[in-house]
Structure formats: structure tokens, C-alpha cells
């Protein structure tokens, strides 16, 4: 299955990104893009910054995954704990759904 997924991702270029910054008022997410990580596995990576004045005990960035026809075929999530004010988080969310061709940030949830 991994070989099939990597072949599909390479065939479609697997270089999609969400250009605009997204925020929940405390956490700003930017630069979200898909990559093949050092292990050759697909992931969505980007940067999130805690713009609040308190520690975020838990922060989640959620993504919907879509096939080439635009149908939602799954989702993934990145999570961090104890993100200090002003701190930058380099997130990574694994993509384990075969045939994923694009993604969209579906939610940002933070808890103090």
C-alpha cells in the first residue's frame, strides 16, 4: 500500500498548499504544504505561532483530505502541548489516506 501511495503522490505532483494564513484568534497557521518526509511518507507541514499572552495547553490543526475529483476522502491532524506565548511550532500531520490529491484546513482548536 505504501508503494501505491507514494506512486500516486509522485504522479500527481503532490505539491499542494494552503496559501492564506488561518487563525482562531490565538494560533496563526501559515505555510501549510504537503511533502514527502525523510521516511518517504506524505505529510502536511507548516508553521503555527501562539499569538496569545498565555500558554496553550493543547493546540490542534485539523485538515480535510480530498481526491482528484474533489471528494473528501479523509482527514488528519497535528497536535502540540504547552505552546508558550510567541512560540513557533513547526507542525507535521501524516497523510495515510491513499489517493489524497489536496487538503484544506478544516479547523484550529486551542485550549488554555
Closest-CA residue to 56 (of 33, 30, 32, 89): 89
Contact 50, 87 (CB under 8 A): yes
Give the CATH number, domain containing residue 18: 2.60.40.3230
Residue 56 has pLDDT above 80, yes or no: yes
Confidence of residue 14 (pLDDT cuts 50, 70, 90): low
Instruction: Supply the pTM of this predicted model.
Output: 0.84
Total number of domains constituting the chain: 1
Average pLDDT over residues 64-76: 97
Range of the domain at 96: 2-111
5-33 CB burial, b ≥16 within 10 A, e <16: beebbeeeebebebeeebebebbbbeebe
Amino acid at each position: 500500500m505504501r508503494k501505491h501511495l507514494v506512486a500516486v503522490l509522485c504522479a500527481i505532483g503532490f505539491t499542494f498548499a494552503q496559501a492564506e494564513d488561518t487563525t482562531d484568534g490565538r494560533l496563526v497557521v501559515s505555510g501549510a504544504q504537503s511533502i514527502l518526509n525523510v521516511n518517504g511518507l506524505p505529510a502536511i507541514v507548516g508553521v503555527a505561532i501562539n499569538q496569545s499572552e498565555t500558554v496553550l495547553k493543547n493546540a490542534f490543526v485539523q485538515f480535510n483530505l480530498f481526491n482528484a475529483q474533489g471528494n473528501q476522502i479523509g482527514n488528519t491532524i497535528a497536535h502540540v502541548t504547552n505552546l508558550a506565548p510567541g512560540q513557533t511550532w513547526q507542525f507535521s500531520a501524516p497523510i495515510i489516506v491513499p489517493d489524497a490529491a489536496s487538503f484544506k484546513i478544516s479547523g484550529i482548536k486551542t485550549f488554555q
